Amino acid sequence: MSLELHENVSLQPFNTFGIHVSARLFAQAGNEQDVREALALAAERGLPLLVIGGGSNLLLTRDVEALVLRMASRGLRIVEDDGESVVVEAEAGEPWHPFVQWSIAQGLAGLENLSLIPGTVGAAPIQNIGAYGVEIKDVFAGLTALDQQTGELREFTLGECAFGYRDSLFKRQAGRWIILRVRFRLLRNAQLHLEYGPVRQRLQEMGIESATSADVSRAICAIRSEKLPDPAVLGNAGSFFKNPVVSAALAERIRAEHPDLVAYPVGEGEMKLAAGWLIERAGWKGYQDGDAGVHRLQALVLVNYGDAQGQQLLDLARRIQADILQRFGVTLEIEPNVL
Ligand code: EPU
């Protein structure tokens, strides 16, 4: 037995909101064998298994009556290389941003727009992380997961993951699959994505004419650091709501009253609205109630100013949802997993 099991462990260091709740049992898995041991131990004790990565997409509202298993497996390797395109494989417990930096240092492009996203490699496919015009699905080459129901390993191809906007099969079948390692197809000759919002402009300001993936990564880090709070300094879980997709008719009705509405066409007769804009326009940006608040620079991000409880943050989110529904007729969906 290599797995170290601990009783009644505070999860505060293991969730980026910094919420104080405890786990009935807690362990860290360094490899597949540890994961299997944890599954057996949880079954023995009659507790569910709750697998976490960086805890950066999680809102904990009460003590967790489960065996909380933090994925801590490490390892990065190149598994295919045809000179132009390369498949890299990363273990689930690898922290995301250092992995992105490693790939750039290998001269590989594809992940630069996803720089500085908190969390781990294994959690990334669950919500199909995305930023500045790129999502995991765009560079995804496969993953290996353990089926909690059967104990068998299964390989997933892109199509089988059913990726959508902040969505996947693994999110919809929560509690079934434990992602062990993920593969990405990256390119030696960068095909950079600079179209999204401020990216190209930021590169110009940095005096860069012909950008490399390292330049794009630096630009994205600068943009993110300006707008998004660092969880090490101010507890948060990134965007707390998804950007809602509404009918073009509803978007037009809102625009008639608010000509500066931020909206992008997606598919037939549908528009994606910037939830941050709606929340800011409704007056919530910078709002604070005790230690729970709405970030003062990015209204989509809820923050813990110190000792906020998960329930307090959830109550604030519910008030925002009700207000946005009442004012604009738009339903906001919560993005992180609420437990
Ligand atoms: N906006 C406002 N007020 C705000 C925030 C945003 O008016 O308080 C407006 C901006 O001016 C801009 C538009 O909304 O016109 C979009 O803002 P931004 O580019 O900052 O991105 P976002 O839609 O707020 C999404 C992702 C982020 C991702 C960025 C960049 C979601 C839920 N969020 O945010 O992802 O980093 O785009 O691609 O899709 C995350 O998922 O945790 C996350 C941070």
List pLDDT tens digits, range 168-195. 999 999 999 999 999 999 999 888 999 9
Model pTM?
0.96
Q: How does the average pLDDT of the chain come out, rounded? A: 97
Answer yes or no: are the C-beta atoms of 291 and 316 closer than 8 Å: no
Q: Distance from the CA of 95 to the center of ligand 1, in angstroms?
A: 23
In a domain, 185, yes or no: yes
Q: How many residues are given for the chain?
A: 339
Whether 166 and 214 share a structural domain: yes
Answer yes or no: are the C-beta atoms of 2 and 40 closer than 8 Å: no
Choose the residue to mutate in 137, 163, 196, 239 for probing ligand 1, maximizing ligand atoms within 8 Å of C-beta. 239
Domain boundary, last residue among 192, 227, 262: 227
In a domain, 311, yes or no: yes
Whether 90 and 200 share a structural domain: yes
Other C-beta atoms lying within 10 Å of the C-beta of residue 11: 24
Q: Distance from the CA of 238 to the center of ligand 1, in angstroms?
A: 10
Other C-beta atoms lying within 10 Å of the C-beta of residue 69: 26
Ligand 1 atom closest to 241 (CA):
32
Q: Distance from the CA of 243 to the center of ligand 1, in angstroms?
A: 8
Whether 219 and 311 share a structural domain: no
Whether 127 and 218 share a structural domain: yes
Q: What is the dihedral of CA 314, 134, 112, 31, to 10 degrees?
A: 60
In a domain, 313, yes or no: yes
Whether 112 and 169 share a structural domain: yes
Is the pLDDT assigned to residue 299 strictly greater than 70?
Answer: yes
Q: Domain containing 292 — which CATH number?
A: 3.90.78.10
- Does residue 283 line the site of ligand 1, with CB under 6 A? no
Is the pLDDT assigned to residue 162 strictly greater than 90?
Answer: yes
Is the pLDDT assigned to residue 293 strictly greater than 70?
Answer: yes
Q: How many domains does the chain have?
A: 3
Whether 91 and 44 share a structural domain: no
In a domain, 171, yes or no: yes
Q: Distance from the CA of 116 to the center of ligand 1, in angstroms?
A: 15
Identify whether 166 is a catalytic site residue: yes
Choose the residue to mutate in 202, 262, 300 for probing ligand 1, maximizing ligand atoms within 8 Å of C-beta. 300
Q: Domain containing 27 — which CATH number?
A: 3.30.43.10
In a domain, 1, yes or no: no
The whole-angstrom distance between residue 224's C-alpha and the CA centroid of its chain comes to 14
In a domain, 134, yes or no: yes
Identify whether 155 is a catalytic site residue: no
In a domain, 33, yes or no: yes
- Does residue 223 line the site of ligand 1, with CB under 6 A? no
Closest-CA residue to 308 (of 292, 286, 287, 288): 292
Is the pLDDT assigned to residue 1 strictly greater than 70?
Answer: no
- Does residue 242 line the site of ligand 1, with CB under 6 A? yes
Closest-CA residue to 328 (of 246, 266, 265): 246
Domain boundary, last residue among 199, 227, 255: 227
Identify whether 335 is a catalytic site residue: yes
Q: How does residue 51 score in pLDDT terms, banded at 50, 70 and 90?
A: very high
Per-residue pLDDT tens digits for 307-326: 999 999 999 999 999 999 99
Taking residues 151-158, what's their average pLDDT?
98
Q: Domain containing 214 — which CATH number?
A: 3.30.465.10
**% the chain with pLDDT above 70:** 100
Ligand 1 atom closest to 299 (CA):
8
Closest-CA residue to 197 (of 113, 271, 96): 113
- Does residue 334 line the site of ligand 1, with CB under 6 A? no
Q: How does residue 29 score in pLDDT terms, banded at 50, 70 and 90?
A: very high
Residue nearest (by alpha carbon) to ligand 1 atom 23: 274
Whether 253 and 201 share a structural domain: no
Whether 223 and 291 share a structural domain: no
**% the chain with pLDDT above 90:** 97
Report the distance separating Cα 180 and Cα 4, nearest Å: 19
- Does residue 112 line the site of ligand 1, with CB under 6 A? no
Whether 89 and 58 share a structural domain: no
Whether 100 and 195 share a structural domain: yes
Q: Distance from the CA of 276 to the center of ligand 1, in angstroms?
A: 6
Q: Is 232 exposed, middle or buried (0-12, 13-18, 19+ CB in 10 A)?
A: exposed
In a domain, 97, yes or no: yes
Which domain, by its residues, includes 168? 76-227
- Does residue 67 line the site of ligand 1, with CB under 6 A? no
Two tokens at 209? 């004419």
Give the pLDDT confidence score for residue 197 in this predicted structure. Answer: 86
Taking residues 125-147, what's their average pLDDT?
98
Whether 239 and 210 share a structural domain: no
* Given 70, 166, 218, 281, the catalytic residue: 166
- Does residue 276 line the site of ligand 1, with CB under 6 A? yes
Give the pLDDT confidence score for residue 61 in this predicted structure. Answer: 98
Per-residue pLDDT tens digits for 246-286: 999 999 999 999 999 999 999 899 999 999 999 999 999 99
- Does residue 285 line the site of ligand 1, with CB under 6 A? yes
Answer yes or no: are the C-beta atoms of 85 and 335 closer than 8 Å: no
Whether 217 and 258 share a structural domain: no
Residue nearest (by alpha carbon) to ligand 1 atom 6: 276
Domain boundary, last residue among 227, 246, 276: 227
